[in-house]
Amino acid sequence: MTTTPGTIGPHSRRRVSYYYDYDVGNYYYGQGHPMKPHRIRMAHNLVLNYGLYRKMEVYRPHKAVADEMTRFHSDEYVKFIQNVGPDNIMEFNKQMQRFNVGEDCPVFEGVYEFCQISAG
């Protein structure tokens, strides 16, 4: 079998980098959202129980600070995520439309902390 530059052949020994934070499974996006973060925890348990972690570089991400998040997102978006929550969502109606936050990307309890874990 011949490989072209940039492809991985069957003999390759590249390692997989796997980032996981146990707290990511503690969040709930809401009843109508298809993603259930506890499924991430279930997948992690499979990685452990099947010994797949032995073939990976396993890392626990740090919680990104706002300054790190603004390397990719605007200051306005990061401030919005820091301040919005289920209890005050109506105060952020304009920003929710601007940043396309809603059913697919819902506001939930702890959304900023979840984003910190995801970005870290």
In this prediction the pTM is 0.78
Q: 13-20: which pairs have CB atoms within 8 A and are 24 or more residues apart?
A: 15/55, 15/56, 15/57, 16/55, 16/56, 16/57, 17/56, 17/57, 17/59, 18/47, 18/53, 18/56, 18/57, 18/58, 18/59, 19/59, 19/60, 19/61, 20/44, 20/47, 20/58, 20/59, 20/60, 20/61
Domain ranges across the chain = 16-119
According to DSSP, residue 63 is labeled P
Q: How confident is the model at residue 119 (pLDDT cuts 50, 70, 90)?
A: very high
CA angle 107, 111, 90 (to 5 degrees): 35
User: CA 95, CA 97: separation in Å to the nearest integer?
Assistant: 5
Please give the pLDDT value at position 4.
53
pLDDT tens-place string over residues 44-95: 999 999 999 999 999 999 999 999 999 999 999 999 999 999 999 999 999 9
